[in-house]
Structures are given as structure tokens and as C-alpha cells.
């Protein structure tokens, strides 16, 4: 991203989409500069905030994005500490952060965005609980998306989550103090989980699609904090005015690339007592995997269709992912209706997994409340 907010950035899947994008890019900038980069599909994005004094480097926090790389970092929910990345991957990211800070002679704050590529047939997965596990950090593909020698929008979140005043420390370092003099050379470990969620203004802009992408759409952030990821994520959703259901009917319509990944999500929802309804293509794939679901029409297939279910208040949650521009246009009415009738939804499979995790925890226990000072108490 060479522009703040990812202005005029887009993921292009085919030649027709590229031609359409090029026409719009001309309108976005009179000089017509276009940067083309390969999209890392299926990668996990990681944000790191750090302070360097030129000798020592303090890693303020390593944040794992819940939405996959390709969603603007300002729009993605994220977890501190990482909720699924293996320890050796996180350790390698910290090592690379320190090496970059020293090599670039950064004095003060810096932010790095990494992408960790998921497993290939010859590589173990970078995620806990996926694949065989194990393996050294060199077995994983860790890409550097960008390095910013400045404060990031995540600084207030990391500072609140860890209790370390990063902006204050960085200002003192820039004025000549060392991290050793300030007493901060080691990363502060935390026993809790803090989840940041973006807040969107979609209900005020009727023509804007709620699907997430490289161009930033959020206008604020909230944080949920608890002893486990699921409850912290549920609190973050509640804070951003998104209700997570614990019963009812869930509608699923996903792109071909996500059909395999959605199977475990649907199995978990079934086990927790949810009724699952899916569009024909998604339903056929699920049935082939031995998962029984009801079938509902897409809007273009005739009534009764998904939007009818939403309007009749029969739906408690929606999982809707799309690939190309045509599919995005076809499913626009689903997302707008969900917004209009206040039905919570997610537009990524990774987001759906996080919601399932939150539902599991909400069914097990009530949400507790602690002051931030209690979370920040020394071990």
C-alpha cells in the first residue's frame, strides 16, 4: 500500500476486472500511475509495533489479523498476542523486526506488516492445530508487506492492551534517551488476550458495499479484553454493535475457494445447535462432505430467496464471501439487507472461524468484567 487508506486499491481476479479497474484508476489520479503486485491469497497478516534506540529494540506487540492479508489493516480485526500462529513463527517475526530496525537505523517507533503464507504440500502450516505442526521457522514463507518508520494507528491499542506507554517511550528515545535508561528492553508478556475490531459507518451510506478489501472503509476502533480469545472477540463485537448469536439460523453463501474451508465451521455450528441454510452451490459441497443443510435461493434464482429470509427476521447470522466483481454485485443485496435489518454477518471465512470460537465461549461461560488495571497487574 503506497497510499494511506489503500485508496483506489483492488484485488483483480481476471482480465475483464483488470480492464474495468484501469478505467477507474485513470479517474483516481491524473498521472495514471498503476502499481501491480502479486496477491498472496490465503496468507495471514501480522502487524508489529516496535521502538528502537539504534542499539536495542523493544517489540511493543505482535498482532495477528483475523481477516486474511488483502483486507486493509485498518479494517481487519486483530488479536494481541497472536491467537493461532505457532510460537516459532512469532519468534521469527520478532527476530526479523529487530534486524530491520537496526539495519534501517530507526530511532523511535516503527511498524511492520508481515504476511505468513499458509502451508504448501511440502511445508507445515504456520497455524496451531492445522496440518502436522512442528518444523523450524525457516519452513514458513514470511513476507514483508511494508515497513513504516513512524507510529501506526495500532499504537493506542497495543499500549492499552499491554500497559506500556509506547508513544511516551518513543518520544523520549527520539530526544536521546536509551531503552536501557528507560528500563524497557524486554517485551512485556501479558496473560490476557486483547482483540481490536474496526467500526464501520455503513448504516449512514446506503450505496456503499460492506465487503472488505484493500481500500479502508472503517472510521473507528474498539477493543475487547479477556483471558481467552473467544470471549475477548465477543466483547470486541459487542463494543462495535455487532451481536453474536448463540442460537438460531445461519445463512451461508461462499465462493468456490472457501467451500472446503467452511466445512469445519458448519460442523461446529451444527454441534452447537444452529440451523444452517446455504445457497445451492455451497449446499451441494457441504452435502458431498456429509453435512446436511437446507437450500435457499440466491436473489437471481427467484423467491423465496436469502433477502426474503432476512426481511422476515428468520436469520441470526450470515457468512458471505465473494471472488470476482460479478459475484460481488450479485450478492450486494444480501449484505445491504443484513445491514438494514441489523443481522450480523462476516465476509471472510477467517472471520467466521473467530465467530464460532466466540460462540463456543459464550455458551460455556458468562462474560466477566475487570478493570484494565487488574489485567495489567504484574505476574
The answer to whether residue 28 is domain-embedded is no
Provide the residue range defining the domain that includes 302: 245-343
Whether residues 293 and 169 share a domain: the answer is no
Final residue in a domain of this structure, among 188, 222, 243: 243
The answer to whether residue 116 is domain-embedded is yes
Whether residues 308 and 338 share a domain: the answer is yes
Mean pLDDT, rounded, for 36-53: 88
Final residue in a domain of this structure, among 208, 243, 278: 243
Residue 337 pLDDT class (50, 70, 90 cuts): confident
Query: Cβ of 127: how many Cβ atoms within 10 Å?
Result: 19
Whether residues 65 and 157 share a domain: the answer is yes
Identify the residue with better confidence: 22 or 77. Answer: 77
As for how many domains the chain has, the answer is 2
**Low-confidence winner among 65-74, 84-93, 162-171, 241-250 (lowest mean pLDDT):** 65-74
Whether residues 225 and 264 share a domain: the answer is no
**What's residue 191's pLDDT?**
93
Per-residue 3-state assignment (H helix, E strand, C coil) for the chain: CCCHHHCCCCCCCCHHHHHHHHHHHHHHCCCCCCCCCCCCCCEEEEEEEEEECCCCEEEEEEEEEEEEECECCCCCCEEECCCCECHHHHHHHHHHHHHHHHHCCCCEEEEEEEEEECCCCCCCCCECCCCCCCCCHHHCCEEEEEEECCCCCCHHHHHHHHCCCHHHHHHHHHCCCCHHHHCCCCCCCCCCEEEEEEECCHHHCCCCCCCCCCCCCCCEEEEEEECCHHHHHHHHHHHCCCCCCCCCEEEEECCHHHHHHHHHHHHHHHHCCCEEEEEHHHHHHHHHCCCCCEEEECHHHCCCEHHHHHHCCCCCEEEECCCCHHHHHHCHHHHHHHHHCCCCEECCHHHHHHHHHHHHHHHHCCCCCCCHHHHCCCC
Identify the residue with better confidence: 92 or 131. Answer: 92
**What's residue 138's pLDDT?**
55
| pLDDT tens by residue, 283-331 | 999 999 999 999 998 888 888 888 999 999 999 999 988 876 666 676 7
CA distance 343 to 330: 19
**What's residue 227's pLDDT?**
95
Contact 242, 220 (CB under 8 A): no
Whether residues 339 and 261 share a domain: the answer is yes
**What's residue 30's pLDDT?**
67
Identify the residue with better confidence: 256 or 110. Answer: 110
**Low-confidence winner among 23-27, 105-109, 371-375 (lowest mean pLDDT):** 23-27
What are the backbone dihedrals phi and psi of residue 12, each rounded to the nearest 5 degrees, phi first?
-105, 130
| pLDDT tens by residue, 219-278 | 899 999 999 999 999 999 999 988 899 999 999 999 888 999 999 999 999 999 999 999
What percent of the chain stands above pLDDT 90? 58
CA distance 78 to 68: 10
What percent of the chain stands above pLDDT 70? 88
User: What's the angle, vertex CA 120, arms to CA 113 and CA 145, rounded to 5?
Assistant: 15
The answer to whether residue 183 is domain-embedded is yes
The answer to whether residue 363 is domain-embedded is no
Query: Which region holds residue 314: left if phi is over 0, alpha if psi is between -120 and 50, else beta?
Result: alpha
Query: Residues, the chain, total?
Result: 379
Whether residues 284 and 226 share a domain: the answer is no
**What's residue 194's pLDDT?**
97
Cα separations in angstroms, 275 against 53, 75, 178, 252, 272:
55, 29, 58, 11, 9
- Whole-number mean pLDDT of the chain? 87
**What's residue 131's pLDDT?**
43
4 has a pLDDT exceeding 60: no
**What's residue 330's pLDDT?**
67
Of 235, 160, 194, 203, the residue nearest 79 (C-alpha): 194
Would you call 128 exposed, middle or buried from its count of C-beta atoms within 10 A (0-12, 13-18, 19+)?
middle
The answer to whether residue 146 is domain-embedded is yes
The answer to whether residue 272 is domain-embedded is yes
**What's residue 123's pLDDT?**
45
Q: What is the CATH number of the domain that holds 288?
A: 3.40.50.1380
Final residue in a domain of this structure, among 243, 271, 304: 243
5 has a pLDDT exceeding 60: no
Residue 335 pLDDT class (50, 70, 90 cuts): confident
Contact 98, 179 (CB under 8 A): no
Whether residues 88 and 70 share a domain: the answer is yes
Residue 334 pLDDT class (50, 70, 90 cuts): confident
The answer to whether residue 213 is domain-embedded is yes
Whether residues 277 and 326 share a domain: the answer is yes
The separation between CA 188 and the C-alpha centre of its own chain, rounded to angstroms, equals 23
Whether residues 159 and 58 share a domain: the answer is yes
Whole-model pTM?
Answer: 0.86
Q: What is the CATH number of the domain that holds 202?
A: 3.30.470.20
Whether residues 82 and 199 share a domain: the answer is yes
Whether residues 148 and 96 share a domain: the answer is yes
**What's residue 16's pLDDT?**
81
Residue 201 pLDDT class (50, 70, 90 cuts): confident
For cell 474451508, the residue is 261
The answer to whether residue 107 is domain-embedded is yes
| pLDDT tens by residue, 118-130 | 655 444 456 665 5
Whether residues 261 and 328 share a domain: the answer is yes
Amino acid at each position: 500500500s503506497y497510499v494511506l487508506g489503500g485508496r483506489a486499491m483492488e484485488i483483480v481476479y481476471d482480465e475483464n476486472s483488470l480492464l474495468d479497474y484501469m478505467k477507474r484508476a485513470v479517474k483516481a489520479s491524473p498521472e495514471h500511475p498503476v502499481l501491480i503486485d502479486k496477491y498472496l491469497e490465503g496468507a495471514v497478516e501480522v502487524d508489529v509495533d516496535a521502538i528502537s534506540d539504534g542499539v536495542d529494540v523493544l517489540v511493543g506487540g505482535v498482532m495477528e489479523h483475523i481477516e486474511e492479508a488483502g483486507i486493509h489493516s485498518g479494517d481487519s480485526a486483530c488479536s494481541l498476542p497472536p491467537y493461532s500462529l505457532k510460537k516459532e513463527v512469532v519468534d521469527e517475526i520478532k527476530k526479523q523486526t529487530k534486524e530491520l530496525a537496526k539495519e534501517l537505523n530507526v530511532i523511535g517507533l516503527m511498524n511492520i506488516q508481515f504476511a505468513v503464507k499458509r502451508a504448501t504440500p511440502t511445508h507445515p502450516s504456520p497455524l496451531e492445530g492445522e496440518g502436522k505442526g512442528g518444523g523450524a521457522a525457516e519452513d514458513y514463507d514470511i513476507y514483508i508487506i511494508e515497513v513504516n518508520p513512524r507510529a501506526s494507528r495500532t499504537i493506542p491499542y497495543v499500549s492499552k492492551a499491554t500497559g506500556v506507554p509506547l508513544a511516551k517511550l518513543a518520544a523520549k528515545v527520539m530526544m536521546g534517551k536509551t531503552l536501557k535508561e528507560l528500563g524497557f528492553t524486554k517485551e512485556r508478556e501479558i496473560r490476557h488476550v486483547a482483540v481490536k475490531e474496526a467500526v464501520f459507518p455503513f448504516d449512514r451510506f446506503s450505496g456503499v458495499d460492506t465487503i472488505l478489501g484493500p481500500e479502508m472503509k472503517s472510521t473507528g476502533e474498539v477493543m475487547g479484553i479477556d483471558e481467552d480469545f473467544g470471549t475477548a472477540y465477543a466483547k470486541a463485537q459487542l463494543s462495535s454493535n455487532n451481536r453474536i448469536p448463540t442460537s438460531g439460523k445461519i445463512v451461508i453463501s461462499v465462493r468456490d475457494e472457501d467451500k472446503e474451508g467452511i466445512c469445519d465451521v458448519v460442523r461446529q455450528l451444527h454441534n452447537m445447535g444452529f440451523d444452517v441454510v446455504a445457497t445451492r452451490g455451497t449446499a451441494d459441497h457441504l452435502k458431498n462432505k456429509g453435512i446436511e443443510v437446507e437450500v435457499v435461493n440466491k436473489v437471481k434464482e427467484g423467491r423465496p430467496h436469502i433477502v426474503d429470509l432476512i426481511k422476515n427476521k428468520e436469520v441470526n447470522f450470515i457468512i458471505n464471501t465473494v471472488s470476482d466483481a460479478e459475484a460481488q454485485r450479485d450478492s450486494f443485496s444480501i449484505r445491504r439487507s443484513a445491514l438494514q435489518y441489523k443481522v450480523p454477518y462476516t465476509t471472510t471465512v477467517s472471520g467466521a472461524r473467530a465467530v464460532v470460537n466466540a460462540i463456543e465461549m459464550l455458551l460455556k461461560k458468562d462474560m466477566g468484567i475487570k478493570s484494565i488495571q487488574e489485567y495489567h497487574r504484574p505476574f
